[in-house]
């Protein structure tokens, strides 16, 4: 059962894993980083589409605690996608 705290918990998880994610991305080849970025952004787009479909169907996911985990997942994926892009910029990929 959703408590409505899932989004905050996912944001905390994203912050916790960020240093390891950035370090791991730094050890990849430029091609692997590019693939990571593309895959991560594809997941962001997919989860965002699910969110937007719920809104199109008359739902209010931002106000529904049952959707808090989806919001958190979206936040986590966006941070991870941003991490990949950040490392690519820093390493001039």
In the chain, domain spans: 1-15+36-93
What mean pLDDT comes out for the span 7-24?
A: 94
- Give pLDDT tens digits for 54-84: 999 999 999 998 899 999 999 999 999 999 9
Residues 6+ apart with CB under 8 A from 67: 2, 51, 54, 59, 61
SS3 93: coil
Structural tokens at position 14 = 């994203």
Residue with token string 């965002």: 48
73: Cα within 13 Å, side-chain hemisphere:
14
| Cα separation, 82 vs 64, whole angstroms | 26
| Cα separation, 72 vs 32, whole angstroms | 26
CA 82 to chain centroid, in Å, comes to 8
- Give pLDDT tens digits for 27-59: 999 999 999 999 999 999 999 999 999 999 999
């Amino acid at each position: 059962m959703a408590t409505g705290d899932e989004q905050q918990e996912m944001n905390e998880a994203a912050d916790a894993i960020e240093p390891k994610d950035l370090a791991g991305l730094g050890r990849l080849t430029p091609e692997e980083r590019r693939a990571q970025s593309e895959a991560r952004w594809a997941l962001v787009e997919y989860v965002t589409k699910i969110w937007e479909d719920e809104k199109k169907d008359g739902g209010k996911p931002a106000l529904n605690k049952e959707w808090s985990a989806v919001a958190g997942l979206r936040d986590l994926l966006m941070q991870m996608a941003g991490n990949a892009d950040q490392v690519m910029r820093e390493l001039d990929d």
